[in-house]
Amino acid sequence: MRAGTPSPRYTTALDRLYGIDTPATLQACLIAFQTAVKGSFTLARKDREEAVINAVMGSDKPISQELFEAYANNLRKAVSAVPVSDDLAAQWQANVSRFAAYKAYDATATIRRVVGEDGDIDLGRAVLHTYNRYQAAEYNTAVARARTGKQWIQFSEGDNARLFPNIKWLPSRSATPREEHIPFYNRIWPKNDPFWLTNQPGTLWNCKCDWEQTDDDPTTDNPTRDIVMPGLDQNPATSGQIFTDTAPYFRKASSDVATYAIRTQREAFREAHKEDEIIFNTEIGKVLYDGITVKEITKGAKSDTSYFYKLEIAQHFDKYTHLLKPLPDEAIDLSHNNHNNIFYRRKAQFTKMKVYELTINGYSFRVKLGEYADGSCNLYAITEP
């Protein structure tokens, strides 16, 4: 991806939605993206393009694993750059991983369609470049929305809420600002004004507006219209969503894509760890499990959203132990042991099953830990009541 020649061969609906439909806006978007990722976005490397396309064409999986991992790792980096509470971080990480799975499904299907029609791999490269420029806008937007979410939390806290009752909208830093937010520039609203429920910096794709809390009086005759863009229609601090279900990748996907997304995320995690033992030293003691058993730990999700939450908990369990609320211990049922599986062989050593409740963004889970004689635990299951 090169910032020097930004003009796309054709303009798509997503280019227009993302505000990158002119050479100037696309160039600015790409420069910001390249500066942030410093070459770590692997799909932008020319030496990877043909291999990625050949892998897509040579597989029958609905979602390319490499496309998913590249998109997900990049977006996870975007939100990780903005430190927030572990609870909110889990929501954002799960959300952008789910978004990446749906995007990878869309990109996989498009590459197969255009290359399959006449076998021209250059058409596949054009598709890959198109989704790469989308990725630049999506990354920039994820960073902006994560910052907005963190600022909203800070604005609402203690002395900030008391000493600075109002918020001022600051003009965009962009050389080509989006027209939709210009009427808000330098206007001031009370923090509790309904205006802020649907309007914040970051409610436009690729938005570079900012805001600040102030004790200056609210301005008069403020505009009241809402700017509601597909995929960005909720406050990320209160909804836990960087990208909402109105985003194009979600809206146009069939119901089957949820299953594909779950399978892809699970396979990515299992491939990364294979049979490694994952050990967490937590405030409730040592907790371990085997990467190969992640299907057992997270099976039975009621939706792909809850599945991505469950997998986020499993991958980074030590971050969430402080959210655990003890429930009564359970009896251990070994009747369905499969002694060929290392996970079940260990289960026979449990002395008791410890059960906890963990709630993230309104989703309630039961976390089950099999305790060993030495006091350490095996992460046995994460279920939904």
Tens-place pLDDT, residues 84-108: 988 899 899 999 999 999 999 999 9
Percent of the chain residues topping a pLDDT of 90 = 52
| Contact status, residue 134 vs residue 14, Cβ threshold 8 Å | yes
> What are the helix (H) ranges across 119-255?
121-155, 158-163, 195-198, 236-239, 248-251
* Other beta carbons within 10 Å of 219: 13
Burial (CB count within 10 angstroms: exposed 0-12, middle 13-18, buried 19+), residue 60: exposed
Is 60 exceeded by the pLDDT of residue 341? no
> 148, 172, 191 — which closes off a domain?
148
Is 90 exceeded by the pLDDT of residue 128? yes
Confidence of residue 3 (pLDDT cuts 50, 70, 90): very low
Confidence of residue 152 (pLDDT cuts 50, 70, 90): very high
Tens-place pLDDT, residues 295-333: 777 777 788 888 888 888 888 888 888 889 999 988 766
Shared domain for 43 and 140, answered yes or no, is: yes
Shared domain for 127 and 170, answered yes or no, is: no
Shared domain for 334 and 287, answered yes or no, is: yes
- 3-state secondary structure (DSSP) of residue 79: helix
Percent of the chain residues topping a pLDDT of 70 = 91
Burial (CB count within 10 angstroms: exposed 0-12, middle 13-18, buried 19+), residue 224: exposed
Question: Which pLDDT value is given to residue 337?
Answer: 52
Domain total in the chain: 3
Shared domain for 233 and 132, answered yes or no, is: no
Q: Please check whether residue 214 lies inside any domain of the structure.
A: yes
Q: Please check whether residue 52 lies inside any domain of the structure.
A: yes
Confidence of residue 8 (pLDDT cuts 50, 70, 90): very low
Shared domain for 17 and 144, answered yes or no, is: yes
- 3-state secondary structure (DSSP) of residue 379: strand
Confidence of residue 274 (pLDDT cuts 50, 70, 90): low
What's the rounded mean pLDDT across residues 335-361? Answer: 68
> 125, 148, 171 — which closes off a domain?
148
Shared domain for 100 and 156, answered yes or no, is: no
Question: Which pLDDT value is given to residue 167?
Answer: 96
Q: Please check whether residue 4 lies inside any domain of the structure.
A: no
